[in-house]
Structure 1
Amino acid sequence: MKKILSIAMALSTLLTVAQSDEEVLKTIYTQSLTNGKSYDWLNHLSNQIGSRLSGSLGAEKAVAYTKEELETLGLDKVWLQPVMVPRWVRGAKEYAFIESERGKTSTVNICALGGSVATPSLGLKAPIVEVKNFQELEALGTENIEGKIVFFNRPMQADLIITFEAYGGCVNQRYSGAVEAAKYGAVGVIVRSMNLRQDDLPHTGSMTYGDLPVEKRIPSAAISTNDANLLSTMLTLKKDIKFYFKQNCKQLKDVLSYNVIGQITGSEFPDEYMIVGGHLDSWDLGDGSHDDGAGVVQSMDVLRLLKESGIKPKRSIRVVLFMNEENGLRGGKKYAEEAIKKNENHIFALESDAGGFTPRGFSFDCSDAAFDQVLSWESLFKPYLIHYFEKGGSGADVGPLKSETNVLAGLRPDSQRYFDHHHASNDTFDAINKRELELGAATMTSLVYLFDKYGVNPINASKEIKK
């Protein structure tokens, strides 16, 4: 029986070698679309475990579940990498209203921003002043800000097709709004949600106090886009309205958590490492299906699809499920720190952290020569409607691995609906399309296969492709 199995494995390997790149990619996509595991894994992660905020019970369960699932794949090695992470808890649901005059209020939808302090136990009520940016804040100065709540109301720029650019153009008000407003004596901050859609859902996200002393920190919350518009309109009609909000969040001591790692050891170059990954933690309002459960299960499926497609990698390929991307990036930093300490040669890293929507292509952080190599593979992806190959960012968790010689990449799905769900209570499993998710897993696997086969030397790669 052992002989038969050995012969079958040898024939499978020979068949893979004999196949063209087009045929191998076809096999990968067929496997993912007819025999994929990513959707079932995400179903469990989202519906049986739920939100996975760093330091939470959900995060702990997710570590155990994904490690167990990776162990069933027959990888060469699966292990946990310890990392200390922050533990912030939201507490009871937030409450807020606009007071246009004494006794006349309009309830609005808010949520505390991750890392914020709580309001006083009875809540906080104060006059509110609207600004679009830090320049307007500075122009108003302490005399117009002190004792008030600052309302940052700069929307995402709707005419930018790449929605991540729109997000990048306004996210500083969420991240640094509290520390900036505190300089002028503000008592609280309300920030327009990072969302292109008009709805009633507030979107959370990380914020910072920098080196501001604890006693000077002010509570910071996000308000839904519909209610941001309402508040802005009311301020236009009447400048002296007041805003009330109550939130009960708390920052606790750091706790021990883990990155989850699985590896297929390379057959020819075991000391050259390629990684694929997403972040296992999520915010606590939804179940984190798009951000970043999708990236987690797609990355897991990359290694399974390689094995199912009969591909025996030349280089060591790892899946890394990073902990604490959302509010600290501790997992990504820890992985890079350990890799440097062990002198590991990471030639390639791919991250999926832009949702589980239809894949459009990749962005690459690499040399011009390496990017030319990537462009030579465009024709292989076009049958799958993957056309987007651009130089740009990769991903927050793989970023610390950057060197002068390696290639970092980020999967780029269609982004038009991503910020409808990002960090909000509707980032849930019912927003996931099974086929789109599986197309993303196949697309990632295909890129990993090509970089494993040809390495990162564009001269050798171009010669091999022509054969």
Structure 2
Amino acid sequence: MRTSFRSLALAGLLLAGAGSATAQSTAASATKTDSLNIRKIYDEALLRGRSYEALRDLCTRIGGRLSGSPQAEQAVQWGKMEMEKMGLDRVYLQEVMVPHWVRGAQEKARATGAKGRGIDFNVCALGGSVGTKGKLKAQVVEVKSMAELAALPAEKVRGKFVFFNRPMNPTYMETGHAYGEAGDQRRIGAVEAAKRGAIGALVRSLTLAHDDFPHTGTMRYEDGVAQVPAAALSTNGADQLSQLLKADPDLNFELEMACQTLPEAKSYNVIGEIKGSKYPDEIITVGGHLDSWDLGQGAHDDGTGCVQSMEVLRLLKATGLKPERTVRAVLFMNEENGVRGGNKYAEVAKASQEKHLAAMESDGGGFTPRGFNLEADAATVRKVQRWQPLLRPYGSAEFNPGHSGTDIGPLKGQAKLLIGFDCDSQRYFDIHHTAADTFDKVNRRELELGGASMAALVYLLSKYGL
């Protein structure tokens, strides 16, 4: 660590600019103190971290937590109890009404060719889809894009399933970029298919992996457009269906789904906070979303973000680093299919005239930390980037402008800085929104390092502000 301290002292001198020798010495001393305090945070996380065991409890005892479900309600009570055990200054629930969509019985799908031979497919309903009201059977037309669908003659689409089969682009280094680019198929595929007279939409799962897990995720309908069922096929299934269509363009596809949307349900954001010692009216929020899809256990999406956010508070308390500004952990409800929790939190914050200095979100999985994405004006981004040397020894020094998070997005305009915790994303979309998103896929050390990285940046924000 001696070499690191020398580089950090140099960083302190640079921060001081052309000030007096006393000011430079003070800056270097403060930087060394911060180095030691951040080391305390990491030591506490790696020696006595609580994130992993908290996640085990959430995932294995409660499991998937779709908004409006009994499991989501259990998770609310779990989160409240976990934060109460920390001895925080305040723990409370914030009421929010959420959508209540249920999957129903296991979905079924089968393709039958001209010779009558049937092949079963692994499928799952997209979140928010209507059901099929029994078995829905029709021919299939395959497209790679919305433009290709729009260019087809009406008779080629009417009365058929539209099969959207555009893979995520594997050449992008950031898998989130590929996910976002291919996501229109899932989000609006059913609407565009219905506009052309189709009776349903089949969508290739949004993943770079080749496996048999179909990936769910939210989709939407549009007023004035017929609501048709929408299902995801696994990537292996999509490849197989594409090959079958080349050999037999007139094959029939049969889909059966029992999903439905029920009346909205009452739920809650779970909030815990440590009051700031000097500037209690300035708030730093850190959070993840408590809800998940129902297929797996909601481990990486986003149980990891929830336990890391709670761990930020625990780490500050355990190390005796009393924050100068109020630090608040929020377990948001309903990120997956409505963002009601994020919107409610921002709405209440605005009505209460709260002063949000910054908000941080962890919603990219619990993988190896890389740094943070920053949403703010250029001057604020530069201020935060001055702290990079302090986190460089821990591999979390990539501070770049970029997307912060869905649940803290509504705080834009209220908070001076929005921050997205950034970790290695190469494996994230292999399990995202699938039955494979389970506790056993999370690595203890990676998870605890992420919480420590978040706590370190929150410590600096609390001490120095912006």
TM class, shorter-chain normalised? over 0.9
- Which residue of structure 2 lines up, in the alignment, with residue 446 of structure 1? 456
Supply the distance in 2 between the matched residues of 1:272 and 1:301 (Cα, whole angstroms): 20
> What pairs up with 1:137-148 in 2 under 5 angstroms?
137-148=149-160
Match of 1:425 among 435, 442, 465: 435
Matched residue type, 1:282: S
Match of 1:305 among 315, 327, 335: 315
Matched residue type, 1:151: F
Matched residue type, 1:255: A
1:19 CA drift (Å)? 6.5
2:215 matched to 1:185?
no
Match of 1:104 among 110, 117, 120: 117
1:210 CA drift (Å)? 2.1
Supply the distance in 2 between the matched residues of 1:118 and 1:89 (Cα, whole angstroms): 10
> What pairs up with 1:280-319 in 2 under 5 angstroms?
280-319=290-329
Supply the distance in 2 between the matched residues of 1:193 and 1:410 (Cα, whole angstroms): 25
Q: Is the 8 A contact 2:356 2:414 kept in 1?
A: no
1:142 CA drift (Å)? 2.0
Tell me, what secondary structure is at the counterpart of 1:393?
A: coil
- Which residue of structure 1 lines up, in the alignment, with residue 37 of structure 2? 24
Pair 1:431–1:174, CA change in 2 (3 A): same
Match of 1:250 among 260, 284, 287: 260
- Which residue of structure 2 lines up, in the alignment, with residue 402 of structure 1? 412
Supply the distance in 1 between the matched residues of 2:222 and 2:318 (Cα, whole angstroms): 48
Supply the distance in 2 between the matched residues of 1:408 and 1:302 (Cα, whole angstroms): 17
Match of 1:92 among 102, 105, 124: 105
1:389 CA drift (Å)? 1.5
Match of 2:349 among 322, 326, 339: 339
Unaligned runs of 5+ in 1: 1-15, 457-467
Query: How high is the sequence identity, in percent, across the aligned residues?
Result: 54
Q: Is the 8 A contact 1:367 1:405 kept in 2?
A: no
Supply the distance in 2 between the matched residues of 1:157 and 1:126 (Cα, whole angstroms): 30
In the TM superposition, what whole-angstrom CA distance separates every residue of 1:114-169 from its partner, at most 9, and x where no partner exists? Answer: 00000122x11100000111101100142211000000001110010100000000
Matched residue type, 1:48: R
Q: Is the 8 A contact 2:288 2:309 kept in 1?
A: yes
Tell me, what secondary structure is at the counterpart of 2:365?
A: coil
Matched residue type, 1:167: Y
2:87 matched to 1:74?
yes
Matched residue type, 1:22: S
- Which residue of structure 2 lines up, in the alignment, with residue 172 of structure 1? 184
Supply the distance in 2 between the matched residues of 1:87 and 1:246 (Cα, whole angstroms): 20
Q: Is the 8 A contact 1:54 1:281 kept in 2?
A: yes
Supply the distance in 1 between the matched residues of 2:397 and 2:324 (Cα, whole angstroms): 27
1:103 CA drift (Å)? 2.2
1:239 CA drift (Å)? 1.3
Unaligned runs of 5+ in 2: 1-28
Query: What is the TM-score of this pair, normalised by structure 1?
Result: 0.92
Q: Is the 8 A contact 2:356 2:415 kept in 1?
A: no
In the TM superposition, what whole-angstrom CA distance separates every residue of 1:413-466 from its partner, at most 9, and x where no partner exists? Answer: 10000001100000000001000000000000001011111101xxxxxxxxxx
- Which residue of structure 1 lines up, in the alignment, with residue 19 of structure 2? none
Supply the distance in 2 between the matched residues of 1:298 and 1:178 (Cα, whole angstroms): 36
Deviating 4+ runs (over 6 angstroms): 16-19
Supply the distance in 2 between the matched residues of 1:327 and 1:199 (Cα, whole angstroms): 25
Tell me, what secondary structure is at the counterpart of 2:139?
A: strand
- Which residue of structure 1 lines up, in the alignment, with residue 397 of structure 2? 387
1:375 CA drift (Å)? 1.5
CA-atom RMSD in angstroms: 1.3
1:90 CA drift (Å)? 0.3
Query: What is the TM-score of this pair, normalised by structure 2?
Result: 0.92
2:287 matched to 1:269?
no
Matched residue type, 2:109: A
Q: Is the 8 A contact 1:141 1:184 kept in 2?
A: no
Report the more deviating stretch, 266-275 or 404-413: 404-413
Tell me, what secondary structure is at the counterpart of 2:218?
A: coil
Matched residue type, 1:356: G
2:36 matched to 1:36?
no
- Which residue of structure 2 lines up, in the alignment, with residue 126 of structure 1? 138
Tell me, what secondary structure is at the counterpart of 1:101?
A: coil
Supply the distance in 2 between the matched residues of 1:366 and 1:279 (Cα, whole angstroms): 22
2:195 matched to 1:159?
no
Number of residues paired by the alignment?
A: 438
Q: Is the 8 A contact 1:114 1:205 kept in 2?
A: yes
> What pairs up with 1:195-210 in 2 under 5 angstroms?
195-210=207-222
Supply the distance in 1 between the matched residues of 2:342 and 2:336 (Cα, whole angstroms): 11
Tell me, what secondary structure is at the counterpart of 1:403?
A: coil
Matched residue type, 1:327: N
- Which residue of structure 1 lines up, in the alignment, with residue 76 of structure 2? 63
Supply the distance in 1 between the matched residues of 2:415 and 2:140 (Cα, whole angstroms): 51
In the TM superposition, what whole-angstrom CA distance separates every residue of 1:285-333 from its partner, at most 9, and x where no partner exists? Answer: 0000000000000000000000111111111110000000000000000
Supply the distance in 2 between the matched residues of 1:391 and 1:228 (Cα, whole angstroms): 36
Q: Is the 8 A contact 2:359 2:415 kept in 1?
A: no
